[in-house]
A and B are shown apart, each in its own frame.
Chain A
Amino acid sequence: MKPDTHTGNRGLDLAEPLLFELGRPGASGVDLPDAPKVKSHLGGLDRDDIGLPNVSEPEVVRHFVRISRNNYSIDANLYPLGSCTMKHNPRLNEKMARLPGFGDLHPMQPESTVQGALELIHTLGHWLKVLTGMPAVAMPPAAGAHGELCGVMAIRAAHEAKGEKRTRMLIPESAHGTNPATAAQCGFEVDTVPGNARGRMDLSAFKAKLGKDVAGVMLTNPNTLGLFENEVMEVAQAIHSIGGYFYADGANFNAIVGKARPGDLGVDAIHINLHKTFSTPHGGGGPGSGPVAFSAALAPFAPLPMIVQDGDRFRLIEHLGDKGKPGEHSFGRLRSFHGQMGMFVRALAYMMSHGSDGLRQVAEDAVLSANYVLASLKADMSAPFGDTGPCMHEALFDDTFLEGTGITSLDFAKAMIDEGYHPMTVYFPLVVHGALLTEPTETESKASVDKFIGTLRYLARAAKSGTELARFKDAPKLAPRRRLDETAAARNPVLRWTPPAAQAAE
């Protein structure tokens, strides 16, 4: 809704057009000399009207500062999507990543000039192996889903090396959507395993699906409902008994880092989202990074490049090895270059500054915070698995508490915006009706979590009062934009920007 002002601004909340709508012919932030006259080799394709905006330096600065003010971020307030989207990024990590020796690297520099960088990657890999309790690690994957691809490609390579053609991948119904997508991408047929009444994978249904055509199982632990899969070791034993492999989705490692080692649980491959557990920026910020730890059974198939240590020198293995050499059985290269160097620096800075006791406390405090939210709100909201014991790092609510009010989970989430909170994850996991999945993380103070709990309790009681329907149906009323019509946007998407009709700038 456009405010009733001459400028279209709402006080100091400035309405910002696109950069392309700001341009004025002739405006420029730099003076460039005329290009030298050269013979064109563009075959008549050269043109002057490529449509770049013409703006001065202060216009560019103001444009991006104004946009940044519309951003809700972890630096502004509690962010209930938690490590899943982004937890606090300690500033020390940023300082380390900007050291010239790390920040100014080029991936094609000769090995002899980047020994420190290779040592850092190697050291980070070492600590990932220690924390997962697994003997090998692949650093290249660019994010969590890329790590899944890496792990499942290794599983496929391991079966092929044994001359076996296995076609089915077992995946619980509560899994992240990337798990079945990864399995399908690698040519496996996805076979969904139902959950049980306690929100865990149904072990007997899982065992009933086992057979010689099963390549493996992909299980997230803690799972997407924020619950620990306490039968995980039986799952590992059962999948190994038929010659399959156990892929663990490590998206929720934040809850168990320093407390439980996936290698001890029987896992064969697990990706670790450095941009979740190890605090590197993402969710609109920096790139992700998803190294994969491997068991001894899958280690030979890890992708290239890999780093090996020869005495005090570090060497990159970039090509498939000869017989008996590292990389002999590798499934090959997964991407260009060696991985997300800037994220490696930040993740290692996070590990070193916390130490083993600090990392353990990260997991303990994250779980404590989530259980505090769950226990405080169980009576006013509805927690579908609230009586099955403590949760891990996420507190899950469903929409039973909204039954009969005419208010949906989406309305409830939108009302949180008016209260100054970004909503939590809604409608995921799909197995829970109207899910509201909350992850406060370990870095919020008790006062901050208390204020958040108080807000949700207030809204839950308002929803049930029967007299405040408009508060929810009209929300958000106080945000820069009112509720967007998601349905219209999905049914009639506008995919291409077109210039507005020329308007007077007065």
Chain B
Amino acid sequence: MGTRYFTKDHEWIEVDGDNGTVGVTNYAQEQLGDVVFVDLPAKGKKLTQKGEAAVVESVKAASEVYAPVSGEVIESNAALAANPALVNASAEKDGWFMKLKLTNKDELKGLMDKAAYDKLVASQH
């Protein structure tokens, strides 16, 4: 079990050693509504922090998902192609988007922990 960080754009990243798993938060999936399609980056793609990483499409809108930190994609969640509803059912566990090999771990310092993120969400209600 690694350490989990959050962004103000409602992504989470769980970091374990040099690798991290990225997804969108439960609050984000509630706001999106039923997810119908997820466009994930290919393995080997290099992402920069705050750059576009994926696109998630719901019945309401298409939204960009940004990379919480810079890194190289080592795996994307193949299960989402067949079953995008996983993002709604399990945003913070089985509905993960991609795994990254981090290239600049210092960037994690600018992210929020769970308590700070929960506070942010509460302030948006």
* Per-position binary interface string of chain A over residues 354-375, scored 1 when its CB falls under 8 Å from any chain B CB and 0 otherwise: 0000000000000000000000
Residue of A nearest to B61 (CB): A430
B84 at the interface (CB under 8 A from A): yes
**Chain B residues within 8 Å of A47, by CB:** none
The smallest C-beta distance from B94 to any residue of chain A, in angstroms, reads 17
A487 at the interface (CB under 8 A from B): yes
Q: Is the CB of B34 within 8 A of A427?
A: no
Q: Is the CB of A487 within 8 A of B61?
A: no
Q: Is the CB of A427 within 8 A of B84?
A: no
The smallest C-beta distance from A398 to any residue of chain B, in angstroms, reads 13
B65 at the interface (CB under 8 A from A): no
The smallest C-beta distance from A488 to any residue of chain B, in angstroms, reads 9
Q: Is the CB of A427 within 8 A of B36?
A: no
A501 at the interface (CB under 8 A from B): no
Q: Is the CB of B34 within 8 A of A487?
A: yes
Q: What is the bound-complex CA distance between A317 and B57, given in angstroms?
A: 45
* Per-position binary interface string of chain B over residues 36-58, scored 1 when its CB falls under 8 Å from any chain A CB and 0 otherwise: 11000000000000000000010
Residue of A nearest to B84 (CB): A491
Q: What is the bound-complex CA distance between A486 and B85, given in angstroms?
A: 13
**Chain A residues within 8 Å of B36, by CB:** 487, 490-491
Residue of B nearest to A486 (CB): B59
Q: How many A-B residue pairs have CB under 8 A?
A: 17
B60 at the interface (CB under 8 A from A): yes
**Chain B residues within 8 Å of A486, by CB:** 34, 59
How many residues of chain A are within 8 Å of chain B by beta carbon?
6
Q: What is the bound-complex CA distance between A430 and B64, given in angstroms?
A: 13
Q: What is the bound-complex CA distance between A430 and B31, given in angstroms?
A: 11
**Chain A residues within 8 Å of B60, by CB:** 427
Q: What is the bound-complex CA distance between A175 and B90, given in angstroms?
A: 32
The smallest C-beta distance from B58 to any residue of chain A, in angstroms, reads 9
**Chain A residues within 8 Å of B37, by CB:** 490-491
**Chain B residues within 8 Å of A490, by CB:** 34, 36-37, 57, 59
**Chain A residues within 8 Å of B84, by CB:** 491
Q: What is the bound-complex CA distance between A486 and B84, given in angstroms?
A: 14
The smallest C-beta distance from B80 to any residue of chain A, in angstroms, reads 12
Q: What is the bound-complex CA distance between A490 and B36, given in angstroms?
A: 6
Q: What is the bound-complex CA distance between A427 and B34, given in angstroms?
A: 14
* Per-position binary interface string of chain B over residues 66-106, scored 1 when its CB falls under 8 Å from any chain A CB and 0 otherwise: 00000000000000000011000000000000000000000
The smallest C-beta distance from B122 to any residue of chain A, in angstroms, reads 15
Q: What is the bound-complex CA distance between A487 and B88, given in angstroms?
A: 12
The smallest C-beta distance from A489 to any residue of chain B, in angstroms, reads 9
Q: Is the CB of B85 within 8 A of A491?
A: yes
Q: What is the bound-complex CA distance between A491 and B57, given in angstroms?
A: 10
* Per-position binary interface string of chain A over residues 65-103, scored 1 when its CB falls under 8 Å from any chain B CB and 0 otherwise: 000000000000000000000000000000000000000
**Chain B residues within 8 Å of A427, by CB:** 60-61
Residue of A nearest to B83 (CB): A491
**Chain B residues within 8 Å of A430, by CB:** 61
**Chain B residues within 8 Å of A491, by CB:** 36-37, 84-85
Q: What is the bound-complex CA distance between A487 and B60, given in angstroms?
A: 10
Residue of B nearest to A492 (CB): B36
Q: What is the bound-complex CA distance between A490 and B61, given in angstroms?
A: 12
**Chain A residues within 8 Å of B59, by CB:** 486-487, 490
Q: What is the bound-complex CA distance between A430 and B61, given in angstroms?
A: 8
Residue of B nearest to A433 (CB): B31
Q: What is the bound-complex CA distance between A486 and B57, given in angstroms?
A: 13
A45-77 contacts to B (CB < 8 Å): none
The smallest C-beta distance from A409 to any residue of chain B, in angstroms, reads 10
**Chain A residues within 8 Å of B34, by CB:** 486-487, 490
The smallest C-beta distance from B87 to any residue of chain A, in angstroms, reads 12
**Chain A residues within 8 Å of B61, by CB:** 427, 430
Q: Give 17 CB contacts A-B under 8 Å.
A: A427-B60, A427-B61, A430-B61, A486-B34, A486-B59, A487-B34, A487-B36, A487-B59, A490-B34, A490-B36, A490-B37, A490-B57, A490-B59, A491-B36, A491-B37, A491-B84, A491-B85
Q: Which 10 A-B pairs have the closest CB atoms?
A: A490-B36, A487-B34, A486-B59, A427-B60, A491-B36, A430-B61, A487-B59, A490-B59, A487-B36, A491-B84
Given A490-B57, A491-B84, 8 other A-B residues pairs in contact with their CB atoms under 8 A: A427-B61, A430-B61, A487-B36, A490-B34, A490-B36, A490-B37, A490-B59, A491-B37
